[in-house]
Amino acid sequence: MSPRRYQSEDAGAVSPRRYQSADAGAVSPRSYQSEDRGTVRRLSVLAALLMLVALVAGAYALTRPEANSGVRARVAVGEALGGDAAGFARALAPRPFVFPADHGPHREYRTEWWYYTGNLTTATGRHFGYQLTFFRNALRANPEPRASAWATNQVYMAHFALSDVDGGQFQAFERFQRGAESLAGAQAAPFQVWLEDWSATALPGAAEPFPGQPVVRLRAAEGGLALDLTVATTKPAIWEGENGFSRKGPEPGNASYYYSLTRLDTTGTLTVSPRQYQSADAGSVGGQTFAVSGSSWLDREWGTSALSPDLVGWDWFALQLDDGRDLMLYRLRRRDGTADPFSAGTLVAPDGSSRSLAAADFNLQPLGEWQSPNGGVRYPAAWRVAVPGANLDLTVTPYLADQELAVSVRYWEGAVRIAGSASGQGYLEMTGYGDAGVRR
């Protein structure tokens, strides 16, 4: 069988590693690269970016060779969260978290993700933001057994993005791969999630900063960019929602299991293409390699759910304040632009204790507007974030205006700075704006 193409009884014939774009032309056989004409730009996740698995059902058809020549398709966020949920487990009530098992995959649920983001600096203060996220999506709840070693019910997608704040550059890459023949996968012990040579792997022999929370090495490389980072949590895991049960709507099962590691000490290196980046504090032959340190955030979520019919997307904030507090907020956005009552958040104290925030406990106000040069989608240019009960009144502003990932599901995600009643930095994700969706 050709290593560049595979046949799946569940998914049909697809190219496992290539997207073709009329905007970008033919791209790397292992990734989709979005390179804006001045800079470039993807979860999600997430947070919840994520559910961005437009692979389910229609997305695979778009990558078949006969449909792959410069055609551009669009799938809205709501459609990407759709698909046949029959037979999959649903998040219906709180349940205990068990580590290391819950670091690994939960294949009885349709979708899950491992979502790393962070802000890093060099010794001379050069600032970078990064995103490395892995998504798992099951195609069927009860697949028929297949004899082929290539047959699989699991599809993985990953996004790797780098924001060079001082250089004014942003690049994002996307990969897809089947969960077979060790091409992509996830395991709990020792922890590892990978898609080809992009990976998050527990460091063997490293002391766990908290029981069940390993020190993790992150690695990815594409298009002249690379990261090699070590992340170690300084706070215990935070259960989002009701003890980790995060409801996204009134429908039974429209929920997920969701925990976060909100402060990950981070050290390592970032390598960038020398023809795009030049700096006196970099020093590797054939590429600019920066020693960096800073703080990262991990969001872990799994479930079998979809957006309610009146929802079009979400705005997700992962904010690390200089006073030691961390703030996660998400606003589920209705078609009329208002916030859904199932919007929620969590405020984490410096000692790792936390309290849940309901929609009435915070206010998110868009400030201004930025229009993408790559498709014309309009996003808020900045945000006012208020949590009156915590005496927080913040302005959240992107380090770079253009941190849009124009990949399978078009969305904005990038590094932000925080000013106002407290200072800090973090990451922001905005999905479902304009005709958001998949590029054809």
Q: Which helix (H) or strand (E) holds 43?
A: none
pLDDT at 325 (0 to 100): 98
> What's the rounded mean pLDDT across residues 244-272?
94
Q: Are 288 and 308 in contact (CB under 8 A)?
A: no
pLDDT at 63 (0 to 100): 31
Confidence of residue 143 (pLDDT cuts 50, 70, 90): confident
264: nearest Cα among 70, 414, 114, 62: 114
pLDDT at 52 (0 to 100): 38
> What's the rounded mean pLDDT across residues 385-405?
98
Q: Which helix (H) or strand (E) holds 62?
A: helix 60-62
Least confident window among 145-159, 175-189, 264-278: 264-278
Establish if 351 belongs to a structural domain: no
Res. 307: pLDDT tops 70? yes
Establish if 432 belongs to a structural domain: no
What are the beta bridge partners of residue 347? 327, 355
Least confident window among 53-67, 362-376, 420-434: 53-67
Q: What is the DSSP code (8-state) at residue 389?
A: G
The pLDDT tens digits of the residues spanning 157-206 come to 999 999 999 999 999 999 999 999 999 999 999 999 999 999 999 999 99
CATH value at residue 40: 2.40.370.10
Least confident window among 28-32, 143-147, 357-361, 420-424: 28-32
Angstrom distance (rounded) from CA 214 to CA 209: 7
The CA-based angle 127-400-283, given to 5 degrees, is 30
> What's the rounded mean pLDDT across residues 145-159?
92
> What's the rounded mean pLDDT across residues 351-368?
97
- C-alpha distances (whole Å) from 177 to each of 12, 212, 314 are 13, 28, 26
Q: Give me 346's structure tokens.
A: 């969590």
Res. 74: pLDDT tops 90? no
Res. 51: pLDDT tops 50? no
Angstrom distance (rounded) from CA 35 to CA 24: 7
Res. 75: pLDDT tops 70? no
Confidence of residue 40 (pLDDT cuts 50, 70, 90): very low
378-379 and 370-371 strand pairing? antiparallel
Establish if 383 belongs to a structural domain: no
pLDDT at 26 (0 to 100): 33
pLDDT at 274 (0 to 100): 58
Res. 403: pLDDT tops 80? yes
Q: Give me 402's structure tokens.
A: 């253009």
Bigger pLDDT: 55 or 205? Answer: 205
Highest-pLDDT range among 141-150, 274-283, 376-385 = 376-385
Confidence of residue 375 (pLDDT cuts 50, 70, 90): confident
Residue linked to tokens 């703030």: 327
Establish if 97 belongs to a structural domain: yes
Confidence of residue 39 (pLDDT cuts 50, 70, 90): very low
> What's the rounded mean pLDDT across residues 126-151?
93
Angstrom distance (rounded) from CA 286 to CA 368: 41
- Average pLDDT value for the chain: 82
Res. 413: pLDDT tops 60? yes
Angstrom distance (rounded) from CA 264 to CA 418: 18
Establish if 361 belongs to a structural domain: no
Confidence of residue 82 (pLDDT cuts 50, 70, 90): low
3-class secondary-structure state, position 5: coil
Q: Are 305 and 248 in contact (CB under 8 A)?
A: yes
Establish if 377 belongs to a structural domain: no
pLDDT at 31 (0 to 100): 40
Confidence of residue 76 (pLDDT cuts 50, 70, 90): low
Q: Are 211 and 226 in contact (CB under 8 A)?
A: no
3-class secondary-structure state, position 79: helix
Least confident window among 108-117, 278-287, 312-321, 368-377: 278-287
Establish if 42 belongs to a structural domain: yes
> What's the rounded mean pLDDT across residues 310-319?
94
Establish if 356 belongs to a structural domain: no
Q: Are 188 and 207 in contact (CB under 8 A)?
A: no
From the number of C-beta atoms within 10 Å of its C-beta (0-12, 13-18, 19+), residue 337 rates as exposed
pLDDT at 436 (0 to 100): 41
Q: What is the span of the domain harbouring residue 52? A: 6-309
pLDDT at 263 (0 to 100): 98
15: nearest Cα among 183, 147, 178, 221: 178
CB atoms within 10 A of CB 199: 18
Least confident window among 37-46, 82-91, 286-295, 364-373: 37-46
pLDDT at 310 (0 to 100): 86
Dihedral through CA 56, CA 433, CA 91, CA 47, nearest 10? Answer: 100
Report how many domains make up the chain. 1
pLDDT at 84 (0 to 100): 66
Question: Does the bond joining 190 to the residue before it have cis omega, within 30 degrees of 0?
Answer: yes
Res. 100: pLDDT tops 60? yes
